[in-house]
Structure 1
Amino acid sequence: MLHLKRLILMSACVITVSAWALPSDREKNIELNADKATFSERTGVMTYSGNVVIQQGTMRLNANSIVAQLNANKQIQTITAKGNPATFQQQISVDKGLAKGQGQTLVYNAETGIITLTGNAILTQDGASIRGNELRYSMNVGDIEVTGNQQRRVQLVIPPSSNRSFPSVKD
């Protein structure tokens, strides 16, 4: 029974990540692969390490490691993915191409709905891209804030085609 309880809690990390994808993706199986998975019921920390891949439909997250912090109600509070880089992709809607993002670190805050990409952060879709040192994206509102530094200024690329728009998860 304890093994089943841990498996259910570890699956919560995957289910939260799947909220970024197409509605039809939520009907697909969730597949998580990693070299190692641990859960501490005392601290509420789930850790996946070693070539971590989470996939559900068109949503795919690749990282060297993922750490999920649970709140007192055993719900996901934050998910931190680290890689070289950590990457994600998803099909936002049927009429747009894959949205792809990457950064050295990706942090998803389930309470605010904000995903923060840091370390050579980039978000691309349909030929448009935005990059900087840090990119904060609100999945609830659709706002994007990008900051640069002396080594990496904010760069925005908009393709000439008028039917393409700035990359965002919500339109």
Structure 2
Amino acid sequence: MAIHLRAAFLALLMCLTAGAVAAQGTEVAFGGFQHDSSLPVEITADQLEVNQADGSARFTGNVLIGQGDMRLSANEVRVEYASGDDAAGRIERLLATGSVVLVSGSEAAEAQEAVYTIDSGNVVLSGDVLLTQGQNALSANRMVLDLNTGTARMDGRVRTVLQSGDN
């Protein structure tokens, strides 16, 4: 009986906490999403268009991007290169759209769009964001992931589903 009361209390506490999170946004730890942004970026896709005028490239169809242990897939990715004499082909930002999935270890995030700014190590995912960490899931309208610290902030009607140790 005491075990069931404790489980019921824990479930109520989670519901109350999820309600508070939904109203305010939340910070989330991402141990698996930390990585070295100085590693090379490898991109594969069905098609590539390069625009010399604005210094960009557009990858379409089954786009898969890898950097270290991190993988990003999407329907389309626009690569923007840094400008200036010292840039020498350095990627500045990746803009992914359509069925975006970001995976690192046992953590995965899905969204409609993602913008990865290489130098800052920030990834902004937006549009029906769903984060899974093992069996736990969080959803929101927007998530800002800091790859340098391994933390993120989720905003816009955050919902959390946490699995207890009994499942």
Query: Which category describes the TM-score, using the shorter chain as reference length?
Result: 0.5 to 0.7
**Does residue 60 of the first structure (1) align with residue 74 of the second (2)?**
no
- Give the Cα–Cα distance (whole angstroms) in 2 for the partners of residues 57 and 31 of structure 1: 9
Aligned to 1:79: 94
2:164 is matched with which residue? 160
Q: CA deviation at 1:57?
A: 7.5
Aligned partner of 1:103 among 103, 108, 111: 111
How many residues align? The count is: 128
Of the three residues 118, 126, 133, the one matched with 1:125 is 133
Q: Which has the higher contact order (CA 8 A, sep 6+)?
A: 2
The separation in 2 between residues aligned to 1:88 and 1:48, in whole angstroms, is 17
- Give the secondary structure class of the aligned counterpart of 1:124: strand
Are 2:45 and 1:34 equivalent residues in the alignment? yes
Secondary structure in 2 matching 1:141: coil
Structure 1 residues 36 and 88: alpha-carbon distance in aligned structure 2, compared to 1, 3 A threshold: same
Percentage identity across paired residues of the two chains: 27
How far the C-alpha of 1:51 sits from its partner, in A, is 2.2
1:45 to 39, 51, 56: 56
Judge conservation of contact 2:34–2:150 (CA < 8 Å) in 1: no
- SS of 1:42's equivalent in the other structure is coil
Contact (CA 8 Å) 2:35, 2:147: kept in 1 or not?
no
Matches of 1:46 and 1:114 in 2, distance apart? 20
| Runs of 5+ consecutive residues of structure 1 not aligned to the other structure | 1-19, 92-97, 163-171
How far apart are residue 21 of structure 1 and its match? 7.4
Report SS of the residue matched to 1:136. strand
Offset of 1:79 from its aligned partner?
0.4
Unaligned runs of 5+ in 2: 1-32
| Offset at residue 157 of structure 1 (A) | 2.3
Contact 1:122 1:135 in 2 (8 A): no
RMSD of Structure 2 on Structure 1 (CA): 2.6
From the superposition, tell whether residues 60 and 141 of structure 1 become closer, same or farther in structure 2 (CA, over 3 Å).
closer
